[in-house]
């Protein structure tokens, strides 16, 4: 019996999410069913988990299931489960507010592009609201497991600004979500259509999804199970088709697209477990957002009982794009997250997951060039984090990385370290790279000139993670990795002699430049790196690359000021002009310009852009003021 009905506004964010969801999903309407079934399935999982300690919660209704019913005349569609249910407070918290911190990120990450935005829904915990894509009114009746019938709740909303809430008798445990279908969406009140959608999206939900049998085109009294209702991962591989694997991925990952690849393994022996892990074809949202907290996407089961999403415990950060299921036979059902974090069995399972995923990526690299290319594009940069994060697998990960190179095809990142090593020149014992903040900046870097002249290949790195990675990654296959802007160059004896002579001859010039530049530089010296450009910066071994220092400063971080070392090319006409310029003011302008152009090509920020422009104009006009 309904007592008092109370009306409340949605939280502002909910109202906004509702508008966006209903707006951006209209070409993927049908996924509302997947979302509601997934919630019903979660509710059954939660009850089964709670009932481990409190079996009485199940009462005489221990068979957990999901029922889908429709009424063409009344234009309703109902998704009902006998899972955990919700109390009044839980309904308010779960359906009226967005507690999850993901919501704001969701709102921010909407691109306005329908296909992309639709992928985001569900991943952010806004799945329930997709009901309003097809319904102009949604009624939820719920009773928490363990609560009395009189403590049931009715929640109702037209999905605009408000919802109503009333205490009402609810006969059985669990939740019914009743959709009052929009005129245009009556098609969903159809037995065939619904069966079809369930098989498409929810076949491997591990609980029976039931519908009434059809008799003479009408629903009869008896129920039948319309999904496979088995845990896909628990079946032998030989009995699973590719389409089933793909469909399971879609229900698991809330992704519309097929996965790129998957790996399914059963481990027997002293410790038994099953892993089914997928690599998506496109970055999931949390990867795009760079979100490192609240990682989701790998579900831990213990003997088929869903325990929790344990992505953080089961996979390292650099494999955070992986989605899947781990089912362990030997863990106690009452594990907590704290226990998982220090559990040896989990550590072993994690190591096995890492191995399987790396095996899978290696397999792609060897056997499927197209897929591997897709992988590198989507996750290559994420994988690089593994070089730092997972030293025990460093060699394996390094072999899977691909870079652009001075001998590659433009900005295409398709040169492996093994390719590089295979092309090394006789006597070369260093893998050279340059870092910058874009392909153009890397490829155009003056530091490359001497390498180009000698035909030595240089890897071009221009992702933010690269600089961080190479900070720890100093050796591969017995070869040193070195930045072309740092340290000694690979000069043979003849080159060395030439270099020394050039330095000697340029001593007065270097002295003059040091005086002109004063405390703007820590040192000036003759470069062995340059052939065409007049100047460049050289870095000491521990110095932060100038473009990175700039990025960090822009991000509000404290970066110690370090004065640059300027290298010059005494053969360059501009450098010669500084040498011959007798007018001190003009000579100073030119010296500063040598420094500033070196800073610009290195991606550093100019400390005084206006002064630079004035100097440049004076130099162009040949004036002093």
d(CA 363, CA 319): 16
| Residue among 42 and 162 whose Cβ is closer to ligand ADP | 42
Residue 84 binds which of ligand ADP, Mg ion, none (CB < 5-8 A, kind-dependent): ligand ADP
**Binding partner at 67 among ligand ADP, Mg ion, none, C-beta below 5 to 8 Å by kind:** none
Nearest approach, Cβ of residue 328 and ligand ADP (Å): 24
Pick between residue 83 and residue 280 the one whose CB is nearest to ligand ADP. 83
Task: Output 36 or 526, the one with its CB closest to Mg ion.
Answer: 36
- Chain centroid to CA 60: how far? 44
Give CA–CA dist 177/189, Å, rounded. Answer: 14
Helix (H) or strand (E) holding 421: helix 417-423
Count, residues near Mg ion per rule CB under 5 A: 2
Minimal distance, residue 122 CB to Mg ion, in Å: 6
CA distances to 34, 107, 112, 181, 451 from 120, rounded to whole Å, are: 14, 10, 12, 24, 46
Nearer to Mg ion, 297 or 316 (CB): 297
Residue nearest to ligand ADP (CB): 127
Min dist CB 273 to ligand ADP, Å, is: 26
For residues 170 and 270, what is the distance between their CA atoms, to the nearest angstrom?
Answer: 48
CB of 27 to ligand ADP, least distance (A): 20
* Torsion sign across C-alpha atoms 587, 489, 383, 469: negative
Task: Report the helix count and the strand count for the chain, using DSSP H and E.
Answer: 24, 22
Q: How far apart are CA 601 and CA 606, in angstroms?
A: 11
Give the three-class secondary structure for 127: helix
Shortest CB 168 distance to ligand ADP, Å: 16
Contacting Mg ion within 111-170 (CB under 5 A): 127
* CA nearest to 293, candidates 276, 307, 278, 312: 312
Based on CB atoms, which residue is closest to ligand ADP, 81 or 543?
81
Query: Which residue in the block uniquely carries the two structure tokens 């989605």?
Result: 323
Q: Minimum distance between the CB of residue 207 and ligand ADP, rounded to whole angstroms?
A: 12
Of 39 and 175, the one with the shorter C-beta distance to Mg ion is 39
State whether residue 570 is helix, strand or coil: coil
Q: How far is the CB of 306 from ligand ADP (least distance, A)?
A: 13
Answer yes or no whether residue 83 interacts with Mg ion by CB under 5 A.
no
Backbone angles phi, psi at 593, to 5 degrees: -65, -35
Least distance from Mg ion to the Cβ atom of residue 299, Å:
13
Contact indicator for 302, 314 with CB cutoff of 8 Å = no
Residue placing its CB nearer to ligand ADP in the complex, 128 or 451: 128
* Options 38-46, 157-165, 507-515, 521-529: segment touching Mg ion (CB under 5 A): 38-46
Beta strand 153-157 with 66-71: parallel, antiparallel or unpaired? unpaired
Assess 39 for contact with Mg ion (CB under 5 A): yes
Chain residues binding ligand ADP by CB under 6 A are 35, 39-40, 42-43, 81, 83-84, 86, 94-95, 125-128, 175
- Residues 353 and 328: beta-carbon distance below 8 Å: no
Nearer residue to ligand ADP within complex by CB, 75 or 80? 80
Nearest residue to Mg ion, using CB? 127
Q: Which residues are near Mg ion by CB under 5 A?
A: 39, 127
């Amino acid at each position: 019996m309904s007592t008092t009905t109370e009306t409340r506004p949605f939280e502002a964010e909910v109202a906004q999410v509702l508008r966006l969801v209903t707006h951006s999903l209209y070409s993927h309407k049908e996924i509302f069913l997947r979302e509601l079934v997934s919630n019903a399935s979660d509710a059954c999982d939660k009850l089964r988990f709670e009932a481990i300690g409190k079996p009485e919660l199940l009462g005489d209704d221990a068979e957990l299931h999901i029922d889908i019913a429709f009424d063409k005349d009344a234009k309703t569609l109902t998704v009902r489960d006998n899972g955990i249910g919700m109390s009044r407070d839980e309904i308010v918290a779960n359906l009226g507010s967005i507690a999850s911190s993901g919501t704001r990120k969701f709102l921010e990450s909407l691109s306005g592009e329908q296909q992309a935005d639709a992928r985001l829904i569900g991943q952010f915990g806004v799945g329930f609201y997709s009901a309003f894509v097809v319904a102009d009114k949604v009624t939820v009746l719920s009773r928490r497991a363990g609560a009395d019938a009189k403590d049931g709740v009715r929640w109702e909303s037209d999905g605009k600004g408000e919802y109503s809430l009333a205490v009402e008798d609810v006969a059985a445990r669990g939740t019914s979500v009743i959709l009052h279908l929009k005129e245009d969406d009556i098609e969903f009140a159809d037995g065939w259509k619904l069966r079809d959608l369930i098989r498409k999206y929810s076949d491997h939900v591990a609980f029976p999804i039931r519908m009434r049998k059809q008799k003479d085109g009408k629903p009869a009294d008896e129920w039948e199970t319309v999904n496979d209702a088995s845990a896909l991962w628990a079946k032998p591989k030989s009995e699973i088709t590719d389409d089933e694997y793909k469909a399971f991925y879609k229900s698991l990952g809330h992704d519309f697209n097929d996965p790129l690849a998957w790996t399914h393994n059963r481990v027997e022996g002293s410790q038994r477990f099953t892993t089914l892990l997928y690599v998506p074809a496109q970055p999931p949202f949390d990867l795009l957002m760079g979100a490192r907290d609240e990682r989701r996407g790998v579900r831990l089961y213990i003997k088929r009982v869903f325990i929790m999403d344990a992505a953080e415990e089961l996979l390292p950060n650099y494999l955070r794009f992986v989605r899947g299921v781990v089912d362990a036979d030997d863990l106690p059902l009452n594990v907590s997250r704290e226990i998982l974090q220090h559990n040896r069995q989990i550590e072993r399972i994690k190591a096995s997951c890492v191995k399987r995923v790396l095996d899978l990526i290696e397999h792609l690299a060897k056997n499927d060039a197209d897929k591997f290319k897709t992988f590198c594009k989507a996750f290559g940069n994420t994988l690089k984090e593994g070089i730092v994060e997972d030293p025990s697998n460093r060699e394996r990960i390094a072999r899977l990385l691909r870079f652009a190179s001075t001998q590659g095809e433009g900005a295409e990142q398709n040169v492996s370290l093994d390719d590089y090593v295979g092309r090394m020149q006789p006597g070369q014992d260093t893998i050279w790279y340059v870092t910058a903040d874009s392909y153009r900046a890397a490829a155009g870097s003056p530091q490359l000139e001497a390498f180009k002249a000698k035909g030595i290949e240089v890897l071009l790195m221009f992702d933010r993670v690269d600089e961080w990675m190479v900070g720890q990654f100093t050796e591969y296959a017995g070869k040193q990795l070195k930045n072309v802007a740092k340290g000694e160059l690979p000069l043979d004896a003849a080159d060395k002699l030439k270099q020394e002579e050039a330095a000697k001859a340029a001593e007065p010039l270097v002295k003059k430049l040091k005086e002109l530049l004063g405390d703007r530089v820590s040192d000036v010296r003759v470069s062995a790196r340059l052939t065409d450009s007049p100047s460049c910066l050289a870095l000491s071994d521990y110095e932060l690359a100038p473009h990175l220092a700039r990025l960090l400063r822009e991000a509000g971080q404290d970066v110690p000021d370090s004065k640059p070392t300027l290298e010059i090319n005494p053969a360059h006409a501009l450098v010669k002009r500084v040498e011959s310029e007798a007018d001190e003011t003009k000579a100073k302008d030119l010296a500063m310009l040598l420094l500033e152009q070196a800073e610009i090509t290195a991606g550093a920020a100019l400390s005084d852009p206006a002064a630079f422009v004035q100097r440049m104009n004076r130099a162009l006009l040949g004036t002093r003021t």
